[in-house]
Every structure is written in structure tokens, then in C-alpha cells.
Structure 1
Amino acid sequence: MDCSMTSSILSANYNTILFEFGVILVTSKMMYAVLRKLYQPRIFSDLLLGIVLAQFRVLSLTNAINLVFGKIGAFVFAPYLFALGVEMDPSSLLLPSADSAVAYAGVFSTAVVVTLFHTPIMRSASGIVQEQSLRGFLGLAAALANTASPVLTRLATDLKIAKTAVGRLAVGAGLASDMLTTLLISLGSMVWRDAGTEDDSSSLLARPALMAAVLAVAGLSGLVSRAMAEWVESRNPSGRRMRGFDLSLVALVAATLCWFSSALRLDVNMAAFMVGLAFPSEGRVSRLLVSKINLVLTSFVLPLYVAHVCLSLRQTTDDVEAAGLTRDQGFRVYVMDLPFPWWKVIFVTAMGTLGKLVGCAAAGLLLCGLGFLEALALGLLLNVKGYFHVYCALAAFEAGIITDKSFMAIIFMVALNVAATPMVGMAIASWARRSVQWRLMGLQHHDPATELRLVVGLHGPQDVPTLALLMEALRWGGGNGELAVYAVDMVQLTDQTAAAIFKGGGFDGVTVVDEEVAETRKLIGEALDAQVAAAANNKVRVRRVLALSSFQDMHSDICICAEDAMAALVLLPFHKRQRPDGAMDAGAGHFGFRLVNQKVLQLAPCSVGILVDRGRVVGGEQQQGVGVVVVFIGGADDREALTLASFMSKHNSVRLTALRVVQNATAQARSRARTSLFESSSTKSSRNTQASSSSSTSALAQEEAQMQVDDKFFAEFYRKHVAGGGGSNKGMGYMEKHVGDGAELVAELRALQGDYGLFIVGRGRDRRSVLTEGLDEWAECLELGPVGDILASSDFSSTASVLIVQQYDAKKHYKVIDEEFMPL
């Protein structure tokens, strides 16, 4: 009877605990769904819920959470720190870079600020740190200097600032700062592991041996984990779903290595971070392991852990008596019952913010060339706090290093800091979008002092060689030879691939386990790696992106990628491929890619290039130099093509020739006749309506203005790149052809096909030249323009590749009817 009653009571308690935990998890998820619209990270919703629970004194929840986390609380943060360590590369701290320089500057300046405020911090009665010790002082400095890199990375992604100069620098520096300070705290936990205990003095002699043993375990972890990862990846080739047993085996090995470190009397959470640092940061196994751990943590563990921390906010007996309150037996007095220590919240927040602002802003100004406002924004972003600060605050409170009021102040400081940081990110995003709005996204208007960014679409590995050559040649056009390439794998979404999508891994958050798609992506990656390695420089950064969509929607993925990356040019392969006999055949490719190209040409937020690849560009003559000819007839697209050619002319392996096509006497006579006929028809129609007369006059004025712009632009191009040599040892070739009509134009171009491996020509949307009249009547692919269609046809050549360029149409984007009203 007694046994059955006891069993029923325990069952009822377990049911109550599970119900209360479920309420917390569901409420946290609902709050996060609402607050995410304000770009608030998950930790803010967790902290807000925990503070609300503490405010309303939910005693049953307090008992339930303390019952569970009182037993496992010392181990619950170990998976978080392990996953954090796996995502970090310790060797980056030793490499000189802007990210590490900003991180070191922020940590050093924060330590200096904390040192300057040493007296109020260490005041025994009302200071921040209760324990008068070096570990308390250094621990506070390291915690304030720490940047919550997971929170910062998520904010940068949500706010779309990860590709801006400030955003990229903040993410890299935040990762380095987080790694450095967490490593310092881990080492400090080893040095002062027995501080305040009776055997503290006897343990001094054992500390060097302990640190050597921990470092030995870390080295062993690196060897074992790398061997384990290689073995698991060999058993699970890319394109297949990872076996659950293999991933569980890796997790078991990681837990065993953490146990070895904790057996040396090292804090288990810090041991998990050290083992995570030793794990390889790259590879499919590491990515999947981290994604699974983060999924469990964010969905179940961390909301309950934060609620447990916030429900621990209650006063000690001394504080209750000092406030003149009474404490009856069995009654808890919470933090909310006493005067709120706002000065501690403000003091801790000001110290951390000032320390980060001084160091990071100074490094951004002096070392990275940022503006004043950008440098301030960088410092504020790197001051973001997160879950690790909550853990440090609880650990310091339980160790007696800080008082309960300081504990509460740090928790509220984290909440206020996390709530305010998205505002800084939104300001950066607003500045970036405003700067984009007030400049044209294209090569002609690209600032040479800034990094050049391209979005390159790839159908398969066969597209990589020629596109890689273009990428390498274009990188000399700006940013001191620095180039950022977003390589988009264009994969059609079919029923077969949709059934083979597995969330939680890969470059884009999903893995396509279809063997054909996986093999294609693998071959593309190998080809890209080989081309980047052959370039023998570190100034080309390639990021892989997956556009897994139907052909009707794939253009949207490419345009969004170009907009987010603020790219100057999108390069896409032609939908036709060359057959072995040299003819261009749509059956060798996929006709659906033509629809993608057409929509990208219509909707892209930057300039677009369509490459008709016939393979000769990267053939045997590349060692002697690739022959490239750019055809200039007139119009904005031809000016963009000429600008692209000027970028390529600085590359040593490119032999570039500028071909200007001008009207001969016959064509000039036809042009004058066309103008006279147009004016006469306008005069007759003006008798009926005045609007048609004004539109006709406007069209003639625009054509005349276009010709003047063409002449001025080409004259400047000739002065810089032909007569002046373009600043290089080799000069650019120049030809001028006088033709009378389209037939003569095609004949002149056909005569050059044997001398050049690549033709560059503008699409010619706004071109009104008599030289191209009638060419589009028999065009097969109108999206290439009249000249581009001729060059891409099988009748033209079987060896010369073609690049058709379209300039970004700002007037269409801003919906203006006259350039006088352009906001540029």
C-alpha cells in the first residue's frame, strides 16, 4: 500500500514537472516568434520569459526547475560550449588579420577600462565583485570583453549585414574575440580550480602538471577526432544521409574525451570547450554534429536553463535584514521585493560598452579604414552578449565571487544589451541600403577602391573553367585585386530532388541526398577549388550557394543573392551547350535555363552577363595569352561591356583589343534619311496632337545625347587604356571598322573569329544604330540582342566564346521618365 502511494506521488510530480516544462518551452517559442519580427534573437525571449517568471514568483516552477537543474545544472552548458569550440579555428588567433586585430584591441581596451574602475568594482560593501581576489577581477574583465559570436552571427544574417564591410568584420572579429576570452576563462578555471578551499595551497604545486595534462588531452582529442571524422565521412559519402549510428558514435567519443578532461578536476564545461577547439571545424561530420546539438539546445535546454537562472534571483538574509524586511520560515524574498540596483546595471553596461567601443572603434578607424560612424557601429556590435554571459554570471554567483545584486545586474545588462544590439544592426543595414540606392550597381560605376563582388551561376562543372578565367581577369578591376564570388549551383527542383532534401546540413542549411545532384555539386566544388588554387593568391574568396528551385522561380534566388551581396555583376551560362561537332544545341543543355536567364536579365538588381562558352578560351593558347575583342557600337550596354574589358585588360594572360564600329558614308546617309523621315512624320502628326510632337522631339534629343555620351566615354577609354597602356606594361589593341549595314557588320566580325577566343558585346537594348537594323528579324534568342544572337549562333563560329553584357537600368528601377530626376 505504501509503495503504491509513493509511486503515485512520484508519478504525479513527474507529470507536473513535464507539464510545467512544456509550458515554458511553448511560451518561449511563441514569444520568440513574435519578437523575431523585431529582429530580436532567441536569448532575449528566453530572458524576458525568465524575468517575468521571477517577477510573479512562480514557486511551483521554481521547485520543479531547481529539482532538475540542481542535479544536472553543472553539465547542461557543456554541449553548448563544445559546439561553440567546434565552430572555431584556434589557428586564426595566430594569423595576422583585421579580424584578430580588432578582437585583440577590444579585449585589451576592455581590460584597461575595468582596471581603471578597479576601486568601485572591488569595493567590499557595494562593489560588483564580492570576493577580493585576482580571479574575480580577471573573470569580470574577460566576461565583459567576450562577444557572443552565435548571437552576432544570427543577427548579421537576419539583418542582411553579413556581406557589408562592417558586418563581415564584426562577424570575424566577434568569433575571434569569443574564442580568445572563452579560452582565457577556461585556463583561469584550471589555475583557480581550488580557490577558497582548504587544499588551495597544496594544489599550487599540482597546477603546472594539471595544465600539461589538459593540454595533452586536448592534443589527443585533436588526433582522435580528426581520425574519427575521416573514418565516418568515408562510411557516409557526400550525397547520402548520414547514418545515425555513426553520428552518435562521434558524439560518444566527444563525451568520452570531455570526461577525461573533467577527471583531471577541470570544470566539465570548460573541458568541453577545450575538446571542441581540438575538433576539426570543417567537414560534414562537424557541421552535422553542431547542427544537431544546437537544435536540441535552442529547442529544449537553453530556454529551461535561462528560466532556472532567472528564478535563482532572490536575496540573501543579510540583504533582507538591511532592507528592514522580515523573513519568516519557509518564505523566500525575491530580488523584485528589494530596491532595484539600477546603478550596478548602468555601471556594468557602461564599462563593457566603453571598453569595446574604444578598442574596436580605434582598430576599425586606424587598421581597417572604416568611417567614424562605421567604427562606432563595429564596437557596438562586438559588445553583444549571450548565453555564455548568463552561465558565467550564475557560476560566479554560486562560487561566491559576486553578490546576488551584481548577479541580477549582469542578467539585466545582458537582456538590455541584446535588446539594443539589433537597432545597431538595423542602422548598418539602413546605411548599406542607402549607399546602394545612391549608386548604380554595375561595373561602370564601381568604386575601384572597394572589393568587386560577382554572382556566378553554374549548371555543372563544365561551366567552371571559362567562368573562373573571367573571375580571375575581372578581379583586377577594383579593391586592390580583391574579389568576392558567390558561386550559385543552379539545381532544378523536381519531385525526385524534393524527396531527397534533408534539413540541417550543407552550405545552405539543407543537404540534397540525391546522388546525381550531390555528385554534380562535388565536381563543381572540386573544379572551383582547383581554379582558385591555380590562381595562387588569397584575394579571391568563393562562397558556395545552392539555388534549388523550379525554373519558374530560380531567377528569384539569383536576384536575391545579388541584392544581398550588393554584387556589381551576375554571370550566367548560356542555356545551350556545344556539341562535339561544334554546333550549339539546346538539347545538350536544358531549355529551362533560358527562362531563368530571361527573367534575370529583366529583374536583376545589377549588371548581367550571359556567357556562350565554346571552350577555346581556356584552351592551349592560354599560356600565350587569351585573345579577347570587345565590340563597341554604342549604347549603355556597350559602355558596360567596354568597362568590363577594361577590368580584364589588367590581367597578364589577356590580350585585349577594342573594336569600334562606326558608320561609313552609306550608313550616315541612311541615318540622316531616317532622321528626316522621322521629323517629317512628327510634323504631320503634330497637326493632330501636340503630345506626339513632343515625344518625337524627345526621342531625337535622347538619341543625340546618347551619341554624345558614347563619344565622350570611348574617348576617355582610349586615352586611359589604349594610348596610355592602362597602367600596365602591355598596351591594348585598337581597331576601327567602317560598315554600312548589318550584313557588313557580321562579315567583319566573322573575319575575326579565328584570331580571338572571346567576343564581348553589349546586349544593345537602347541602341538605335542603323548598323543593327534588321538583325533581330531572324534572331533565335532575342534576349541576347541582335549582335549577341548572331555571335551565339552555330553559323558564326565553333571556337570563339561570347559574353553578352547588359548594364543595370537604373531608370527602370527608380521609375523615372527623365535622367534629370535621377537621384544620383
Structure 2
Amino acid sequence: MQCGALLNPLATGNSGFKYYIFPYQYAMVVETFANLGLVYYIFLLGLEIDFSLVKRFGSKALSISIAGLVGTFFVAVCSISVRSRLKDDQNTNENGEVMFWVVALGATSFSDLAKILSDLKLLRTETGMTAMSAAIITDLITWLYFIITVAYFVTEKHRALSIISTLAFALISWFLARPILSWAVSKTSKQRNESHLWFAFIGVALFGTISDVLGAHSIVGAFIFGVIMPRSHGFSNMLTEKLDEFVSTILMPLFYFTSGLRTDIRYVVINVEMSFLFVTVLGNCAAKVISTYLVSLKYGMPTRDGLALGFLMNTKGIFPLIILNAARDMQALSNRSFPLLVLILLIISCVTKPILSRNYRLKNVFGLSITEKMTQYTGFRILACVHNLGNISGITNLIKLSNPAPQSPLCIFAAHLVEFTGRTAASVLIMKDEYKSFKSGKFNDYCSKIEEPDQIANAFASLEKEDNSLTSHIITVVSPFDTMHTDICTLAKEKSVHFIILPFQKDSGEENQDSENINEKVLNNARCSVGILVDRGMSVTRSDSQKLTGDRSFHGYLPPKILSNKQIIMFFLGGPDDREALMYAWRMAGDPNVSLTVVRFEMSADEAQTTEKTWQTEKEMDEEILYEFTFKTANDYSIIYKEKVVNDGVGVIQSIKEIEDAYHLCIIGRGAKVKSPLLKGLSDWETCPDLGTIGDTLNSSNFPLQASILVVQQYSPTHDGN
């Protein structure tokens, strides 16, 4: 858009320069492709609209939405005097200007609003939820108003017929075409191929043509087609993934360029006094802020949140710019009114985020470690993070092993981590901290019929049904990967959790790299203990499967004893992380179906004399906690304690290799902030820093021990780099 604006006379100083660089015949070709991109962009915009969310909204969101539109209408009526000040020489319709001012300035861009809330970490706050709910209602009302307005201005002779036929087309599409599309998608949901994409392309063109014939703009038909597309079976998500990048990066820049060509600020600078322009801009900016703030007072919202909500409802995006261009095409806006409105939109968009950034700042607080919590014998709170369904099995098995008991119940906060993009579904963004219970019947059969977020929610809900000492809460965390660690740490603070569990993505690729970055940032910034889980399956060990190979008596099923008895091994090298790992393993050992083996590696007497004083202090703390552990578990035959003397890291690795692969889970300390002298020389070979030296070695595919791995890091304020 800036590129197009720079070709205008105000920037070049020559009114003919634009046509010399960009001749008229070429401009028409670019404008044609720009309009094509606009039609498909509006289709994607329609895919974002989810009418099922309307039932969730309360009176507060509806009141805020209506108040904002009423305030905008009042300012639009007052601003009609702009036309006389601009000395427009074109016969524009004053009523048309007012109507399009209301649509353009009353709209709230949901996608841009969600982006601002995500950047400011306000998505999950009450203010953020209310703003997104009100934004969806505002968008729906604005679209309905826009459809009627366009139908009214496109056809001068048969305006009533155009409006009625357009509304009838929308109703027929909703009540007749939508069920047919849902049935067709359900029959072909397992056969996703390029034919679905071509179907969308043709459908957008067809609906756009129909709406154009009926007297409305082609973007009206594209929007209706997007709204009626089925949301089930991930069909709309597939279309968004396939089309978004092409439309947003190739076609839409042409629209922005043509909009810039039309925005000749010279008309505003030359014909409008700066004081009058300032008052006009201020009035339009303040309209929604004041009206929204007054409504927020009625619902008892704090002044700070009410004003913030007003600025959030002022968020503008591409939709108002589309409205202004459509009005310009229909000559409802003049050459002088159009750039003034574009300038107002730009100013409003520029001031929203900086003002909110000054009022909302994240604060860091200290948390508890597992070691501190174990001494209190109260509820143990875990934040379990999952990216997708592939993480569910390992995380839920680990939670089951964490020994929920009446004297020390487990409170699980399951965070579904969703990457925020410009097309993240509204149903994902607006989600309360709750889970949906599944219906009676087979859980797997039910999961095959629902979307991934619901499958994840029901997987954790089933844990609560199996054990009365465990409660679960499902939370959706939507954020860009670069800042997702902030959301996780903030959520851990809000819920006062003691332990964060993060999955380690085994597959290579960009997704794995993003996951590693999130894990590493959480390890560096979390104010509580953190565990990284490398899931290799905890149902059966390699030795168990080898014993059962060829035994036909089981007919493909494993004996209940093998499924219930879990073998856990913990390697103790010393330091705060290892002490934390030991405490967590000790908690697991309280389960009668769990057997724990603790292997402590010690340096020889000659090597121990050369260690630093800092490590001597850590060793004293190690001895204290190991004495307590061995003393209290001396008569527990399910716990085995061993000691091995080694000289260096090579000796540690060799000793681990000699251990039989008969364990379901291996627990170790990360050893990042205070490294054991035994690890000298091994750190240079690390490929995954978030797993630590030993964890990285155990994670290698050719290592004999193939149990799942839990790497634990203790939160210690004394070693906090911040």
C-alpha cells in the first residue's frame, strides 16, 4: 500500500508521474487480479465466522458490540460536514457517505484483534475473551449491514428487489446449500485431494457471480460461500491451510497496491485544515472507546479494563479498507472522502497496540519446586503441555505413574498448545478452561468423529473418571511459537503449578525445531520445576516384548501383570536437578504397581579430592537427601538403591549401557545450571541442550536402553540468570 501511495502526486510532485511509470492499461490488469484476490480473501474471512459461537456469548458482549456501532453512527452523522469542507466537485450521495462511514469505522477486525491480544498475552483474560466475543458479533452485524448497503447502492432502479433477492440468496444458501455441502464433505472426508480445492475455487466464483447478478457485490457471494462451508472433519481448516498463503502473499499485495494508488493524501492536506483533521480523527477514535467504556461501567468492569476494551474494539484491519474500496467503486465516496477515511483508519490502527502495551506488562514471580512441595503433603499441581494427539499417550501415562492419592491428590492443567496464525479459528481462540465430557460408548469410536482439540480434552477427562484423586482442566494456549513460552510460564504462575511437563518432539523438521525452542525457553524462564518427556511408549518394555515373541498363548494380548507393573530407573549424578528428579521418582514409587531402581554414580576417592568447593556444597546436600531416601525406603522391597564408582563421563555411559533394557521409564536430572564433575568432556557432544548431557546420550537411537526418558530441572532462585 505504501508503494502505491508513493506514486501519487504528493510524494512525486508530478501528477503525470504515476501514469508514466504505471500506464492505465497495466493498472486495469493489476486491478483485475487484485479484485480476484479480494474475492478469495473474503471467502477465507467467511471461513472464520462460526455461528455456533454466538450461543456462548452473554449480554455483555452483545451490549458492547451494539454500543460501539451506535457511537460510530453518531460520529459518522456529525462528520458529514467533512464533505462541505473538502469542497468536493463530484455529485456524491451524502447518505451513502454516512452509511459507509458507519460500516468502515464500526467494524472490528477479529483476526487483527486476536493478533494484538496474542502479542500482549491477553487472549485468556476476561478482557480478551469479552473483546473477541464482541468483535464476532460486531463483524456479523457489520457484514449484514454491508450486504444491504451494497445492494442498495449498486442498483439505482430496483433497490428493493436487489436487497430482497440478496437476502433470499443468503437464506437459501444457509438452509439448503449448507446441509448439502455438509453431507457431501462427510461422504468424502477420507479422500482429501486436489478436487476439494478446485471445488472451493469454483464455488467461490459461482457464488460471487450469483451475488453480482442479483445486484450485490461479488465479495458478498464469496463471503456467504465461506460462511456455509462445513466446519466438521477439518474441511475448513484444510481449505485455509491450502489457500491462505497463496491468497495472502501473492494476490492480496496487488489489492494493497491498488488501494495505495487510490489514496491521494494531497486532497486531504491541501483542502482540509490540520485542526479540523485532528478533531475529525480524534472524534472517530474516541467514539468506540467512550461508548464501550460506558457499557463496561454498567457491568462493573475496572476502569483500566473498560478503557482497554474500548481501544481493542477500535482495532481495524483489511475489512474496513475493503469496504472503502467498494464504496469508491460505487462512487459512494469521492476522491477526497476516500483518502480521509483511509488516513483515519491508519491512525486508529497505529495507536491501539502502543497504548495497550503501556498498560499491560507481565510480571515475574517465584514458584515452588517439587522438593519443597513434597514436604507439605498437599495437592500436587502439574501443567501438562501437548502439541497434538501424538503427545497424549506419553503425557497421560506419565500422569498415571505420578501416584495420585487421597493424601496427595493430583491437579492437572492440560494445556493444548496451538500456533497462532492469521487464520486461527475463532472456536479455538474463544475457549474456556474446561473440558467436554464424551458420550457413553467406546471412547475410540467417539474420538474418530470429533476434532483434535476435543479428542485431547476427552483424553484428560478420562483420567479423572478413572481416579477420584485426580482432577483435570483443559486450557487452550494460542500463541506464536516465538512467544509461546511466555504463555506457558504465565499460565504456570496463574495456576500455581509445581511442575511443568513438556513433550519432546522426536520427528525432525521445522515443527521439531519450534518445539525445541519452546522447551528451551520454558526451561530458562519458568518459575517452577520443569520436565521434558521423551515418549518411547510406556506400555511394554523391549525385554517384555521379546519374552512374548512367539508365545501364542496370549493371542496378541499382553498379560495384565505386564501391563500394570511399571519398572522405573533413576540415574543420580548429583546436583539440584538430580535431587528434584529423585523426589519425583520417589513420589511415583508410592504406587504399589511401580518398582523403582535408583543408581547413584560416585567419583573415586582420588578424583573427588580435585572437585571444586561449589560441588562439595552440592554433594553435602546430595548426601542429606539420599540418607533420608534410603532410610525411609529401607523396608520397601519395590525400591532398589545401588551405587557405582566411576572416574569420568565415559564410565557413566559405559555403566548405563550395561544395564538391561527392562524399564518403562528412565528419570534423570538435566544438570544444566550446576554440572556434575562426572559430565566433564561429554558436554561438547550435546545435540539437544534441553535434554542435558545424559538425556541427550540416552535419546540416541543406537543406545541400548530404549525406555521413555523424563529429564527434570529444578527451579532454584539462587541459580536464576534473571
Q: TM-score, normalised by structure 1?
A: 0.54
Measured in 2, the distance between the counterparts of 1:553 and 1:131 equals: 54
The match for 1:78 is 39
Aligned to 1:93: 54
Q: 1:700 to 1:444 in 2, by over 3 A?
A: closer
Question: CA 1:69–1:642 in 2, change beyond 3 Å: closer, same or farther?
Answer: same
Q: Could you say which residue in structure 1 is the equivalent of 2:576?
A: 636
Give the drift of 1:411.
0.9
8 Å CA contact 2:575, 2:622 repeated in 1: yes
Structure 2 CA distance for aligned equivalents of residues 475 and 254 of structure 1? 55
Task: Give 2:197's match in structure 1, choosing from 231, 239, 247.
Answer: 247
1:184 is displaced (CA, Å) by 2.1
For 1:681-705, what per-residue CA distance to the aligned partner results, in whole angstroms no more than 9, with x for missing partners?
89xxxxxxxxx9xx64x66566667
Partner SS for 2:201: helix
Q: Is the 8 A contact 2:154 2:216 kept in 1?
A: no
| d(CA) in 2 for partners of 1:549, 1:375 | 45
Report whether the alignment pairs 1:59 with 2:16. no
**What is the aligned counterpart of 1:217 among 155, 159, 173?**
173
SS in 2 for 1:535: helix
Distance (Å, rounded) in 2 between the aligned partners of 1:68 and 1:635: 69
Task: Assess if the C-alpha contact under 8 Å between 2:394 and 2:535 holds in 1.
Answer: no
Q: Does 1:805 find its partner at 2:712?
A: yes
Q: Which amino acid aligns with 1:557?
A: D
- Superposed, 1:555-704 pairs within 5 Å as 556-562=513-519, 569-573=530-534, 579=541, 581-582=543-544, 636-637=576-577, 640-641=580-581, 696=613
- What pairs with 1:765-804 in structure 2 (closer than 5 Å)? 803=710
The counterpart of 2:259, out of the listed 309, 319, 322, is 309
1:539 and 2:464 are equivalent in the alignment: no
- CA gap of 1:422–1:210, structure 2 versus 1, over 3 A, is closer
Aligned AA for 2:224? M
Letter paired with 2:632? E
Counterpart amino acid of residue 633 in structure 2: K
Distance 2:333 2:510 in 1: 56
Higher mean Cα deviation, 477-486 or 81-90?
A: 477-486
CA contact (8 A) 2:259 2:325 kept: yes
Asked whether the equivalents of residues 638 and 762 of structure 1 are also in contact (C-alpha less than 8 Å), the reply is: yes
Give how far 1:343 is off: 4.8
Q: Aligned to 1:385, what secondary structure does the other structure show?
A: coil
The alpha-carbon distance between structure 1 residues 639 and 375, as it changes in their structure 2 partners (threshold 3 A), is farther
**Aligned position for 1:326:** none
Partner of 2:71: 113
Aligned to 1:194: 152
Give the % identical residues: 17
**Structure 1 gaps, min length 5:** 1-42, 237-241, 316-333, 489-503, 508-521, 586-614, 664-669, 683-691, 716-733, 748-755, 815-822
Deviations 1:593-624 (A, max 9, x none): xxxxxxxxxxxxxxxxxxxxxx99998769xx
Q: 2:271 maps to which residue?
A: 339
Deviation at 1:307, TM superposition (A): 3.5
Range that drifts further, 264-273 or 135-144: 135-144
Question: Contact conserved, 2:585 with 2:596, CA < 8 A, in 1?
Answer: no
Superposed displacement of residue 252, structure 1: 0.8
Amino acid at match of 1:280: P
* Aligned position for 1:410: 341
Q: Which residue of 1 aligns with 2:109?
A: 148
TM superposition shift of 1:352? 5.0
Report what 2:160 is aligned to: 203
Task: Write out aligned runs for 1:145-544 (5 A).
Answer: 145-152=106-113, 161=118, 164-166=121-123, 176=133, 179-192=136-149, 193-194=151-152, 199=157, 203=160, 211-230=167-186, 233-236=189-192, 242-243=193-194, 245-281=195-231, 285-291=235-241, 293-313=243-263, 335=267, 338-340=270-272, 342-343=274-275, 346-347=278-279, 349-351=281-283, 353-355=285-287, 357=289, 372=304, 380=311, 383-399=314-330, 401-402=332-333, 404-420=335-351, 423=354, 431-432=361-362, 435=363, 439=366, 453-456=383-386, 464-470=392-398, 482-486=413-417, 530=455, 532-536=457-461, 539-541=474-476
Question: Do residues 745 (structure 1) and 641 (structure 2) align?
Answer: yes
Instruction: Write out per-residue CA displacement over residues 64-94 of structure 1, whole angstroms, 9 at most, x where no aligned residue.
Output: 4664578788766322211111133221222
1:188/1:284 Cα in 2 relative to 1: closer, same or farther (>3 Å)? same
Aligned residue for 1:234, secondary structure, equals coil
Q: Deviations over 1:604-659 (max 9, x none)?
A: xxxxxxxxxxx99998769xxx999999999633664588699999xxx9889999
CA 1:656 to 1:313, structure 2 compared with 1: closer, same or farther past 3 Å?
A: same
Q: Is the 8 A contact 1:475 1:481 kept in 2?
A: no
SS at the partner of 1:280? Answer: coil
The structure with more radius of gyration: 1
- In the superposition, relative to structure 1, how do residues 147 and 48 fare at CA in structure 2: closer, same or farther (>3 Å)? farther
**Residue pair 1:170, 1:382 contacting (<8 A) in 2 also:** no
**Once the two structures are superposed, what CA deviation does each residue of 1:217-254 show, in whole Å capped at 9, x if it has no partner?**
23333234334444554333xxxxx43x5422331133
Partners of 1:83 and 1:294 within 8 A in 2: yes
CA shift at 1:276, angstroms? 0.7
Q: Is the 8 A contact 2:155 2:215 kept in 1?
A: no
**What is the one-letter code of the residue matched to 2:48?**
E
Q: Which amino acid aligns with 2:53?
A: S
Name stretches of at least 5 consecutive residues in structure 2 with no aligned partner: 426-446, 462-471, 482-502, 548-557, 644-662, 683-690
Q: Deviations over 1:144-172 (max 9, x none)?
A: 2423344455677xxxx459344888987
2:632 counterpart residue number: 736
- Distance in 1 separating the partners of 2:130 and 2:42: 18
Answer yes or no: is the 8 Å Cα contact 1:645–1:656 preserved in 2.
Answer: no
Q: Distance in 2 between matches of 1:46 and 1:167?
A: 38
Deviations 1:735-789 (A, max 9, x none): 92359xxx97249xxxxxxxx99897766789999xx9xxx9xxxx99569xx99
Deviations 1:370-400 (A, max 9, x none): 994x876665455332222122123334556
Task: Choose 476-485 or 274-283, whichever is displaced more.
Answer: 476-485
Distance 1:656 1:50 in 2: 77
Cα offset, 1:178, TM superposition: 5.3
Aligned equivalents of 1:487, 1:410: Cα separation in 2: 36
Q: State the SS of the aligned residue for 2:56.
A: coil
Distance 1:619 1:465, change over 3 A: farther
| Alpha carbons 1:464, 1:527 under 8 Å: kept | no
- Give the TM-score, by structure 2 length: 0.60
Matched pairs, number: 603
**Cα gap change, 1:549/1:803 in structure 2, threshold over 3 Å: closer, same or farther?**
closer
CA offsets, 1:396-433, max 9 Å, x none? 3455655544422221123334445565687699x44x
Structure 2 distance, partners of 1:478, 1:422, is 42
Change (3 A) 1:181 1:746: same
Three-state SS of the structure 1 residue aligned to 2:632 is strand
Shift of 1:107: 2.8
Query: Given residue 114 of structure 1, which amino acid in structure 2 is its aligned partner?
Result: T
The question of whether the paired residues in 2 share the 8 Å contact of 1:106 and 1:358 is answered with: no
- Distance in structure 2 (CA, Å) of the matches to 1:453 and 1:370: 30
Q: CA deviation at 1:185?
A: 3.1
Structure 1 pair 300/559, CA: closer, same or farther in 2 (3 Å)? closer
- Structure 1 residues 811, 153: CA separation in 2 closer, same or farther (over 3 Å shift)? same
Residues 547, 554 of structure 1: 8 Å contact kept:
no
Distance 1:62 1:455 in 2: 56
Per-residue deviation, 1:485 = 3.5
